[in-house]
Amino acid sequence: MLGLDQEQCQCVFTYHALHTGEHGICPDVAKDPDAANWREAGLARGYASMASLPLKVADKVVGTFNLYAGEMDFFNPNEMRLLDEMATDIGFALEVSEREDELQMRDRAIKAVSQGIVITDPTLPDNPIIFASPGFEQMTGYSAAESIGKNCRFLQGPETDPEALNQIRSALRVGQSCSVELLNYRKDGSRFWNNLTISAVLNKDGQITHYVGVQTDVTQRRELEGQVRQAQKMEAIGQLAGGIAHDFNNLLTIINGYSELLLADTPPEDSRHALIQEILKAGEWSASLTGQLLAFSRKQVLQPQVLDLNGVIRETHKMLCRVLGEDIQLSMQLQPQLNAIKADPGQLAQVLVNLALNARDSMPQGGVLTIETSHAGLSETNSQAARTVCLSVTDTGAGMTPEIKNRLFEPFFTTKESGKGTGLGLPVVQGIVEQSGGQIEVFSQPGVGTSFKIYWPAQGLALGTQTESPDSRPGTRGNETIMLVEDDASVRALIKLILQEQGYHVLDARRGEEALRLAASYPESIDLLLTDVVMPGIGGRVLADRLKAERPEIRVLFMSGYTDDAVVRHGILHKHVNFLLKPFMPTALAHKVREVLAAPHSGQSE
């Protein structure tokens, strides 16, 4: 600043301030021997005295602040007190600036990291999040504003492993770091595997002030690992089943053959009769298990024939009722004039039984199992429908999570208790269907139900005609007002006729929008909304909710020709929902309408 060379800049007073952390004073530049190096230049600029003050950041001297005056002895004790305070303030400002630069650098670094980072404050109630990185928002769907103030447990869900949570709690309780992988839930409800590392932040006294959680989405890695394990398992089981089936079948042929001969020659009153029956029963079960292994591995020898799917279903009706028990209602909605399919009738019956068993186990408190045949699914055109026969098996049970659904056809995978399931039932279904040239789809929603849809190429033969006429038996008639909403004109006309013959007053509409306008212009009470589920524009569920908001007393009965995921997505298979599956007989419609109208009002949109 003074225009001095390096030698002249060697100032004793500045050196003193730098190395002692205390100010240095030169009261008289002209006479002070310590100012010799720069005296001439200083006097030429009119400096008679000077002071050098240390600048400190975090108690460390990082520089000096030099002041010059035109008077001798200018820097008296009062002046120096003020100047020392000023130097302290400057040092504080420098420290704040450095900290801000450091924080900005850290902030930029955190924002550049793809992992999710959160910081929590255990000194506050419930250890809330006080910082969430952009990576956390990208991973979970929750913004920082939505996350801050919450405990991290809001990412947990019903499938989150309690053991992983206990591991985290145990580590936090003693202030240790921990690393776990657990299932978390995004804002949209989807799940992801989270590799979570939690570390404690300590102050200078060794006390925990914060926790830092670093989260990495490892879902894709876990899925790839699962696919590899699944492929290895499938290959191993397929080789095992194919390798042992020949010998097992030979042995079982002998065991079962002789057992049946002995049974025929043994009178029922003979004590050995029951023993032989047990041998034969065990042999038949073993043969069935071997057949399931072969079906799963797609190695079973089938004897396909052109058959009537409706006929096979009717033939298995009694057996299915025994399988399901008294707590489960079996509803059969069989398409008249159903085209034939080509399949092994015995294996087709096995498919029905396995699906019924699966449905039974998902409805421990009872429910409804619907078996439906048709020519089309929701996504099919009319031309495609003519070439496809569909079997739908739908339950009103617990439903499945996406993770369970993804493993549904994995051999030996089961959610049942030990000893209550082999884990082969559904893989066998898949094997039989695919070996018969069919395809299988699964639609499910937790708490709502599950629908299996199986498609076969149609063989062009119309079989299984069913006809019934409307039933006007006592107990089905009424005089209430019903709003009917159905986008198919022919179906709407039929339903309207049936209802009018039963004595009801019917307001009919083609779509949801038309129904809302009609309801708005109708001043009197509407007792029941009978609506299709899937319609262009406003769907049945939305229509019901809007009418219930305007007319809380109205009851609702949904109807649909589909029991697959479109219906499940609309929440129509819930146990509190009144639902009638198409095609239905007039009697069934009349009884269902009367049942809904006569039931105690629940206040729900069902």
* Contact between 52 and 64 (Cβ < 8 Å): yes
H or E element, residue 590: helix 586-598
Q: What pLDDT does 337 receive? A: 87
Q: Is residue 605 part of a domain?
A: no
The model's confidence at residue 11, banded by pLDDT at 50, 70 and 90, is confident
Q: Check pLDDT > 80 for residue 517.
A: yes
Spatial strand order of the sheet with 49-57 comes to 24-26, 49-57, 60-69
Q: What pLDDT does 566 receive? A: 43
Q: 73 vs 509, which has greater pLDDT?
A: 509
Q: Average the pLDDT over 55-81 and give the result.
A: 88
d(CA 471, CA 474): 9
Q: 167 vs 468, which has greater pLDDT?
A: 167
Helices within 441-580 (DSSP H only): 489-501, 512-521, 540-550, 565-569
187 plus 125 within the same structural domain? yes
Q: 570 vs 534, which has greater pLDDT?
A: 534
- The enclosing domain of 21 has a CATH number of 3.30.450.40
SS3 call for 66 = strand
Q: Is residue 370 part of a domain?
A: yes
User: How many folded domains does the chain comprise?
Assistant: 5
403 plus 314 within the same structural domain? yes
Q: Check pLDDT > 90 for residue 454.
A: yes
Q: Is residue 6 part of a domain?
A: no
Write the pLDDT tens digit of every residue in 558-601: 987 643 334 455 555 555 678 876 756 677 788 999 999 998 87
Mean confidence (pLDDT) of the chain? 82
- The 3-class SS string of 226-270 reads HHHHHHHHHHHHHHHHHHHHHHHHHHHHHHHHHHHHHHHHCCCCC
51 plus 136 within the same structural domain? no
Write the pLDDT tens digit of every residue in 369-405: 999 999 864 344 444 445 789 999 999 988 888 888 8
447 plus 323 within the same structural domain? yes
User: CA of 520: how far to CAs of 496, 514, 532, 545, in Å?
Assistant: 21, 10, 20, 15
Q: Judging by DSSP bridges, how do beta strands 528-532 and 555-560 pair with one another?
A: parallel
Q: Is residue 448 part of a domain?
A: yes
199 plus 260 within the same structural domain? no
Q: What pLDDT does 386 receive? A: 52
- The enclosing domain of 547 has a CATH number of 3.40.50.2300
Q: 67 vs 106, which has greater pLDDT?
A: 67
Q: Check pLDDT > 80 for residue 416.
A: no
Domain boundary among 237, 263, 294: 294
- Buried/exposed code over 448-462 (b: 16+ C-beta within 10 A; e: otherwise): bbbbbbbbbebeeee
Q: In terms of Cα–Cα distance, which of 333, 316, 375 is closest to 592?
A: 333
Q: What pLDDT does 237 receive? A: 66
The model's confidence at residue 304, banded by pLDDT at 50, 70 and 90, is confident
d(CA 161, CA 194): 12
Q: 98 vs 169, which has greater pLDDT?
A: 169
420 plus 523 within the same structural domain? no
Residue with tokens 């130097």: 87
Residue 102 sits at φ, ψ, to 5 deg, of -65, -40
Q: What pLDDT does 4 receive? A: 42
Q: Is residue 405 part of a domain?
A: yes
Q: How far apart are the first and last CA of the chain?
A: 86
* Prediction pTM value: 0.35
Q: Is residue 573 part of a domain?
A: yes
Q: In terms of Cα–Cα distance, which of 143, 145, 149, 151 is closest to 116?
A: 143
Q: Check pLDDT > 90 for residue 145.
A: yes
Query: Amino acid identity of 604?
Result: Q
Q: Average the pLDDT over 304-327 and give the result.
A: 86
Query: Amino acid identity of 137?
Result: E
Write the pLDDT tens digit of every residue in 79-129: 898 888 898 888 888 888 888 877 777 777 777 778 899 999 999 999 999
Domain boundary among 54, 88, 110: 110
User: CA of 589: how far to CAs of 474, 558, 559, 581, in Å?
Assistant: 14, 11, 10, 10
Q: 588 vs 353, which has greater pLDDT?
A: 353
Q: Is residue 182 part of a domain?
A: yes
Q: Average the pLDDT over 425-440 and give the result.
A: 84
Q: What pLDDT does 422 receive? A: 54
48 plus 119 within the same structural domain? no
Q: Check pLDDT > 50 for residue 25.
A: yes
Residue with tokens 């299996």: 452
339 plus 412 within the same structural domain? yes
Write the pLDDT tens digit of every residue in 232-261: 766 676 666 656 665 677 777 788 778 888
In 279-387, DSSP assigns E strands to 305-307, 328-333, 338-339, 341-343, 367-374
d(CA 456, CA 565): 19
Q: Is residue 59 part of a domain?
A: yes
313 plus 280 within the same structural domain? no
The distance of Cα 459 from the centroid of its chain, to the nearest Å, equals 39
- The enclosing domain of 272 has a CATH number of 1.10.287.130
Expressed as residue numbers, the domain containing 288 is 225-294
H or E element, residue 221: helix 219-265
Q: What pLDDT does 325 receive? A: 83
Write the pLDDT tens digit of every residue in 457-499: 988 754 443 333 334 444 789 999 999 999 888 888 888 988 9
The model's confidence at residue 280, banded by pLDDT at 50, 70 and 90, is confident
- Token pair listed for 351: 């498919």
Domain boundary among 411, 435, 463: 463
The distance of Cα 454 from the centroid of its chain, to the nearest Å, equals 25
Asked if omega into 583 is within 30° of 0 (cis), the reply is yes
Q: Average the pLDDT over 323-346 and give the result.
A: 88
The model's confidence at residue 173, banded by pLDDT at 50, 70 and 90, is confident
